[in-house]
Amino acid sequence: MKRNPINEIFFLRGISCLAVVLVHSLNVSAINYQHNMSGISSILIGILRMAALFGTPTFIFISEFLLAKSYSDHIPPNFIKKRVKLILFPYLSMALFYATFEFFKNDLDFWNEIIKNVFLAGYHGYFIVIIFQFYFLHMFFVKHINKYSPKIVILVSFIINAAYLGFFNFTNPFDFPYATYIWERLSWLPFLGWIFYFSLAFYAGKYRDTFKKLLYKHSKKLIILPFFTLLTVVIMRYLNLPDISSSKRLDMIFYTTSMIFLIVYLSSFFKTPPRILVFISQYSFGIYLLHPFFQLMLPYNPVLNVWLYIVIAFISGIAFPVITTYILNKFTFGKYIVGKIGPGFNPKIEKNTPKKNTQIA
């Protein structure tokens, strides 16, 4: 059977994918031009970077939203096994690929990079480890948490998530080996740092129609909320509260959530998603995995303006991964290296799909 297309997912996945590529475009450009960039450009790049940090958490939200929409009350046979091949294999392939890249480019110890990437998710594919934890957490929710009130579950999840991020945001690393690495990197991996997004996605997917009605009911707030939450993030960042520029900031929970709500709300005005977002969505996994490599391979050119370099890095971070993903998927093994190309949008399927009960318990 064909899977039902979900209009808002193409918006969420396409926009969040572009946001992730933009973040790394800004990163590589800022590093290359740090001694040849005006103060205004530096500030604008910093603000734009903070604005785009919602990308990775949104990807994680999407993964559980889709699971909950299809399997909110039961777990199908081979639930984990089916996801190992197309999720875990690309993670391991890219872990090896980026370890090899670091070995040749920066002369780092190859086996150390392998161990770090595979077992500590030491490269940007760490989100796959989080998603895999969500598979088991989803099974737990279906079997044990479904009986509780969604409001209570979401509230408790938020408290746990906020407490977890707050601890690593506002405390210094303890005095023991590798403590700094744990604080600055390894702390990203446990599901506790993402459980609010998971719970929100679980009920948003399970009660999709009710979720969208609630967004429409509060539409005026949704339009202005991202502006105020982003303003809060920017102010807090420049006050060094905390001195962290990543999606793992405590205040990013509010900004990311407001962006998810806004995107889902705006998607309701489109009968079909724009083709460009469908296209980006189809190649999003490959783009996510490959874009840093192509951006880091760009030669530094002092003649170029930093903003032009950002544009070139952004386009390269999309075009080359798409081409690579397309070519590799021509072979049977390709989808196990960079992930498979996702399905397109077929409005006829969704139109003929019977509505499920939308009553929130």
Tokens coding 361: 């318990």
Q: Nearest-5° angle of CA 327, CA 333, CA 335?
A: 65
Give the DSSP per-residue string, 134-147: HHHHHHHIIIIITT
Distances (CA, A) of 108 to 116, 179, 182: 12, 21, 20
What pLDDT does residue 348 have?
Answer: 62
Task: Tell me: cis bond preceding 273? Omega within 30 of 0 counts.
Answer: no
Measure the CA–CA gap between 123 and 185, rounded to whole angstroms.
10
Tokens coding 23: 């973040």
**Mean pLDDT score of the chain:** 92
3-state secondary structure of 217: helix
| Residues lower than pLDDT 70 in the chain | 1-4, 347-361
Measure the CA–CA gap between 60 and 317, rounded to whole angstroms.
20
Domain assignments of the chain as residue spans, ordered by start: 7-351
Distances (CA, A) of 189 to 130, 164, 248, 347: 6, 12, 11, 36
Tokens coding 314: 């952004």
What pLDDT does residue 86 have?
Answer: 85
**Helical H runs in 171-268?**
179-184, 195-206, 208-217, 219-238, 252-267
User: Do 291 and 21 form a contact (C-beta atoms < 8 A)?
Assistant: yes
User: Do 68 and 202 form a contact (C-beta atoms < 8 A)?
Assistant: yes
User: Do 58 and 264 form a contact (C-beta atoms < 8 A)?
Assistant: no
What pLDDT does residue 116 have?
Answer: 94
Closest CA to 72 of 232, 196, 202, 187: 202
Which element (helix H / strand E) includes 170?
helix 150-170
Q: What is the pTM of this model?
A: 0.92
Is the CA virtual torsion 284, 60, 138, 199 positive or negative? Answer: negative
